[in-house]
């Protein structure tokens, strides 16, 4: 019946209301009941990273320095008499002759003009001119001698022979060596009567078409052999040859009889050009020791 059902409704509401009031009194809201227990992250606060450790300062390395270029080497002889010569140089190669055999360089030792030998000091090598003028043109041509080889003797007649050319080269080199000794003596660097230079020195034999040569390369080679053999007989520090490919071929026929000796090559005008010769075989058939070029009005030399 309808009246009975209506009468029960107030009692159900009464029960619910007190339970709700009890929950409010106790502070247990539905939202609070769902909050997890424990420390919580405040998502509204900004998140900060720990401070970064500063990088150590970079050590500044000094910029690489360019080493100074080595001082060049020079060669001088009678054309440079009275010229102002450099104070700094690696090596000096000094000519003992006045441009031809049996003639002294007037600026070699002590005298009225500055000594190129004194200028070079211990950083010194020497060079001597060579030639083969033959018996018709030379006042110094050997005749009638047995040593070092028989030349125009009764047993071996004839003055224009390879043996006589050998003797000419031998005696021409002996004269150049004596000229050097006399220059050392005049400077007080060797005792009077000395027959050797104070120290063994490297010698270069200058082979140029400006000097007089025979048309027969075999006679010219014999003269160079005589000059080389004399210098080696007095225990020099070494023997080499100065020339160019063209002059060497013209005078010696391109012989390789001196292939065990170094070449000092002329012909370059700049240092860059001179260095290229170092990668080539020398005109003797041996290695290139020096290559010559021009520098500030002088002949300079690159050491290969």
Average pLDDT over residues 27-34: 41
In the predicted structure, residue 44 carries a pLDDT above the cut 50: no
Q: Report pTM.
A: 0.78
In the chain, what percentage of residues exceed pLDDT 70? 77
Q: How many CA atoms lie within 13 A of 162 on its CB side?
A: 6
Buried b (16+ CB within 10 A) or exposed e, 240-278: bbbbbbebbebbbeebeebeebbbbbbebeebeebeebb
**Please, which contacts does 139-142 make with residues 24 or more away whose CB atoms are closer than 8 Å?**
140/101, 140/102, 140/168, 140/171, 140/172, 141/168, 142/167, 142/168, 142/171
pLDDT of res. 56: 60
R_g of the chain computed on alpha carbons:
49
Across 57-66, 211-220, 222-231, 269-278, least confident range: 57-66
Residue 211's pLDDT band (cuts 50, 70, 90): very high
Between 205 and 56, the more confident residue is 205
**Mean pLDDT score of the chain:** 84
| Residue range 114-159, pLDDT digits in tens | 999 999 999 999 999 999 999 999 999 999 999 999 999 999 999 9
Average pLDDT over residues 203-217: 97
Residue 21's pLDDT band (cuts 50, 70, 90): very low
| Residue range 213-249, pLDDT digits in tens | 999 999 999 999 999 999 999 999 999 999 999 999 9
Contact 298, 80 (CB under 8 A): yes
Q: Does domain 73-303 have CATH number 3.20.20.80?
A: yes
Average pLDDT over residues 173-183: 98
Residue 71's pLDDT band (cuts 50, 70, 90): confident
pLDDT of res. 65: 60
In the predicted structure, residue 18 carries a pLDDT above the cut 60: no
């Amino acid at each position: 019946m309808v009246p009975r059902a209506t009468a029960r409704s107030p009692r159900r509401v009464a029960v619910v209301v007190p339970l709700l009031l009890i929950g409010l009194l106790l502070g247990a809201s539905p939202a609070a009941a769902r909050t997890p227990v424990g420390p919580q992250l405040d998502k509204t606060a900004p998140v900060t990273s720990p401070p970064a450790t500063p990088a150590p300062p970079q050590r500044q390395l000094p910029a690489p320095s360019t080493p100074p270029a080595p001082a060049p080497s020079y060669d001088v002889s009678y054309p440079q008499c009275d010229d102002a010569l450099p104070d700094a140089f690696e090596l000096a190669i000094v000519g003992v002759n006045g441009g031809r055999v049996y003639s002294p360089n007037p600026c070699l030792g002590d005298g009225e003009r500055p000594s190129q030998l004194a200028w070079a000091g211990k950083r010194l090598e020497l060079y001597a001119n060579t030639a083969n003028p033959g018996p018709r043109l030379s006042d110094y041509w050997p005749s009638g001698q047995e040593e070092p080889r028989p030349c125009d003797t009764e047993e071996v007649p004839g003055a224009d022979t390879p043996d006589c050319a050998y003797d000419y080269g031998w005696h021409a080199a002996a004269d150049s060596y004596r000229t050097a000794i006399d220059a050392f003596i005049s400077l007080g660097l060797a005792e009077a009567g000395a027959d050797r230079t104070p120290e063994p020195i490297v010698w270069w034999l200058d082979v140029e078409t400006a000097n007089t040569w025979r048309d027969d390369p075999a006679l010219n080679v014999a003269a160079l052999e005589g000059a080389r053999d004399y210098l080696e007989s007095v225990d020099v520090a070494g023997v080499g040859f100065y020339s160019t490919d063209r002059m060497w071929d013209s005078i010696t026929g391109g012989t390789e009889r001196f292939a065990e000796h170094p070449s000092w090559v002329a012909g370059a005008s700049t240092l860059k050009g001179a260095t290229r010769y170092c990668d080539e075989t020398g005109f003797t058939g041996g290695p290139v020791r020096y290559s010559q070029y021009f520098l500030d009005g002088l002949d300079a030399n690159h050491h290969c």
